[in-house]
Amino acid sequence: MGGSSRWVVVALALKRHWALQSLEVRPLRMEQREIVSFAEFRAAAFASGEVCDVSRRQEIFSLVERRMEEGSCMLVAMCAEHEFAGTELPLDERQPSPLFRLFQPPGLDRAELLDQLLDGQQIVGVAETSTHELMLPTHSLEPDEGLYVTALAVHPNHRRSGVATRLLEEAHVRAQRLGARSLMLHVERENAAAIRFYQASDFKAQTPIPRFRQFATALKINPDSHILFTRPV
């Protein structure tokens, strides 16, 4: 390969790694097919092994559907298929319906399950935003104190390419529209990579004062193993 051709290949690889030119983030619609694709991606993204069993997928589907009915906004990040590097299966060889895949026998390969389409684009990241946690009677935070962000996940092939940042930007816009004063999220103390990312994204770790510990407990989160991060809106 000539020198100029080699640099073209390197430039294209860096472009794909650092930025998805067609990246789009939007709220998930309350439609079953969309919820299934979203839920399957989310289940696979948080799977601990290479296989995601059917009971876990059904559990996440029910959770997402219920949370949306309660008022949560699910954010989905998508890119054009030509920028996607998550599967080697040609499009016409994929399963025809995500509804069919939801009820396949246990043992669906995690990499295959991550391969989800919406609007003819590939899902590359997801996140959930909500406010009803701030309205629980079991803590003392004000309802407008923040928009709570949880379950943020990015496709393994597209980390460090701006997907998580764009999801947070969309959450920030949503928080402004709702009159929330900050973005809020919990991170496990042992998750060093996530902590570095949120610190680089201008989030600040909050001192575990009683009202923040009470908030974590209300969410069934261990305040000793998680850190509350916030970013002003």
Q: Is residue 4 part of a domain?
A: no
- CA distance linking residue 134 with residue 215, whole number of Å: 8
Q: Is residue 71 part of a domain?
A: yes
Contact 179, 144 (CB under 8 A): yes
Predicted local distance difference test score (pLDDT) of residue 99: 53
Among 114, 94, 99, 109, smallest CA distance to 35 is for: 99
Q: What is the CA radius of gyration of the chain?
A: 19
Among 49, 16, 10, smallest CA distance to 124 is for: 16
Q: Is residue 143 part of a domain?
A: yes
Predicted local distance difference test score (pLDDT) of residue 3: 43
Provide block-wise average pLDDT over 10 residues at a time, the chain (233 residues).
40 50 94 96 91 89 97 96 56 44 60 92 97 94 97 93 96 98 98 97 97 97 98 97
Q: Is residue 16 part of a domain?
A: no
Q: Is residue 72 part of a domain?
A: yes
Domain of residue 144, residue span: 22-232
Predicted local distance difference test score (pLDDT) of residue 42: 97
Q: Is residue 208 part of a domain?
A: yes
Q: Is residue 6 part of a domain?
A: no
Tell me how many domains the chain contains.
Answer: 1
Q: Is residue 17 part of a domain?
A: no
Predicted local distance difference test score (pLDDT) of residue 98: 53
CATH of the domain at 88: 3.40.630.30
Contact 214, 138 (CB under 8 A): yes
